[in-house]
Structure 1
Amino acid sequence: MSLGKNIAYLRKRIALTQDELAEKMSVSRQTVSKWETDEAFPEISKLTKLADLFHCKVDTLLREDLEARRNIYSEVSIKTVAGFRMARYVMITPNPEDDVIAYIARWTEQSGLTEYCHGNVTMIGWDFPFVSAEQQNRFGLRGYAAAAVLPEGFDAKLPGVEIAEQPAAKYAVITITDPAAAPFERIPAAYQQIMNYLEANGFKEDSRTDCISCFEHEYEKDGTTFMDVYILADGVAKSNVLTPLQYLT
């Protein structure tokens, strides 16, 4: 474990240069460089400030090997997602993810969508927050929505879902490798990394109601399961500070 490598890793995760981190820490770029090469050790006050900036505990900076996360998470990028039409459904159950995904999977089979897409149906999902405190605390219920993306030309005649339109929008995206290995750790951490990135790059909250605010897309590639996590970047306004972003289309 190296504190310097941890600082460098977390700095790069939120797309800050050494100069930008130095400005935030009120030190010189040379000082940041020495921290990252373990030639110098940050003062306690600076360690606390670093932990606040990176949204982690000081113990995490000092004791964990954060570079090991490279094999789990991709870099955060900004991606333009084209507009699409979807068939969606919501369930509130003790295990809503599995329940509603299974429901949508059955619908895609029965509606002919699976055959239409030659078995390659794109499915997405997101948390459904409108669950009462009584439902959560008394009955252990949670909400989740799942949707199948409808390709152009497909006529969704089978009832049992809501057909909705999603306009084109920019999203901050991160990819998780093997999310099921530790789902309650890896998936929330992915969301946190995106939020750290948006905050560090000067994004501020600005509501937009015509798009899904965040969603997940799980898929397999070469025998490995991946999950892309999306958070709406059009739903925040970028102030004129910090790092210029690379927009991917």
Structure 2
Amino acid sequence: MSFGKNLQYLRQLSANMTQEALAEKLNVSRQTISKREMDAANPEMDKAIEICKIFNCSLDNLFRDEMDKRSDAYSNLRTEEVEGFRYVEYTVISREPEADAIGRMYKCAEENGIADPKVIGWDFPKVSQEQVNVFNMHGYTAALILPKGVTPEGYEIKEQPAHKYAAIHIDRPFDNPFVTIPGAYHTLQDYMRTNGLIHVENEVIPGFETDVEGMDVYIACQ
């Protein structure tokens, strides 16, 4: 853990705030910020509390956590307005549900003549403890974004209104998926907290992934 690395990470999450801008907020010199980020000096308690207020974090976050879970695979951390869309979805509960759910949506796209289909997915939360603990199962939902005028038979057509999302891109997400993908969610949650964004779970898809040229992870926010 490193206070200096945590401070630099929080500053970068906050719209790449410069050392000069942070120094001005804290009424210290830029050199003071630079020394703190190199772990050459720690702030006084009152300044540490001010830093927590600026970045919406705790003292434990600053001094005890290793906050930066980013890797070279991450890029394009952003807030994005996702346009409204129509979609159909398919959920699978099994030991490895992702491939089956996603495959079903690509098959639906083929059956309905959709070229270059866009498929998104997210973990399905309504799985019993018996399914998880005894049978090692989990759930996954895949959804096919529908072009205008396409209405597949046998599916309920759902609509997602335009909404704001925090998002991040992952290159090579499956090189080390059990580290890289959770790390992306961790980084997004830090980004949202630092910038005062609140996670939204009602009336929109609260979070999803898409695998076009890598993976983009989205979390709904306001």
CA contact (8 A) 1:219 1:227 kept: yes
CA contact (8 A) 1:75 1:174 kept: yes
In structure 2, distance between residues paired with 1:39 and 1:196: 21
- Corresponding residue number in structure 2 for 1:243: none
In structure 1, distance between residues paired with 2:118 and 2:178: 23
- Corresponding residue number in structure 2 for 1:190: 184
Q: 1:8 to 1:67 in 2, by over 3 A?
A: farther
TM-score (norm 2): 0.79
Q: Give, as a single letter, the amino acid of the residue that structure 1 aligns with 2:216.
A: D
- Corresponding residue number in structure 2 for 1:244: none
Q: Give, as a single letter, the amino acid of the residue that structure 2 aligns with 1:203.
A: L
Question: Which residues in structure 2 correspond to 1:25-44 (within 5 Å)?
Answer: 28=28, 30=30, 31-36=32-37, 38=38, 40-42=40-42
Q: Any idea what the Cα deviations from partners look like across 1:2-50, whole Å, max 9, x if unmatched?
A: 97566424530343634776699x78354222223x372337986xx89
In structure 2, distance between residues paired with 1:152 and 1:27: 55
Unaligned runs of 5+ in 1: 221-225, 235-249
Identity %: 39
Of the three residues 118, 121, 129, the one matched with 2:117 is: 121
TM-score (norm 1): 0.71
Paired positions, count: 211
Question: Which residues in structure 2 correspond to 1:53-132 (within 5 Å)?
Answer: 58=64, 60=66, 69=71, 71-113=72-114, 117=115, 120-132=116-128
Cα RMSD for the two superposed structures: 3.3
Of the three residues 199, 202, 207, the one matched with 1:214 is: 207
Query: Residue 99 of structure 1: CA displacement?
Result: 1.7
In structure 2, distance between residues paired with 1:67 and 1:78: 19
CA contact (8 A) 1:91 1:145 kept: yes
In structure 2, distance between residues paired with 1:29 and 1:204: 32
- Corresponding residue number in structure 2 for 1:199: 193
Q: 1:124 to 1:54 in 2, by over 3 A?
A: farther
- Corresponding residue number in structure 1 for 2:219: 231
Q: Any idea what the Cα deviations from partners look like across 1:162-208, whole Å, max 9, x if unmatched?
A: 32111100111110111001111111111111111111112345x55
CA contact (8 A) 1:89 1:162 kept: no
Q: Any idea what the Cα deviations from partners look like across 1:208-244, whole Å, max 9, x if unmatched?
A: 5221000001012xxxxx111100013xxxxxxxxxx
In structure 1, distance between residues paired with 2:63 and 2:73: 20
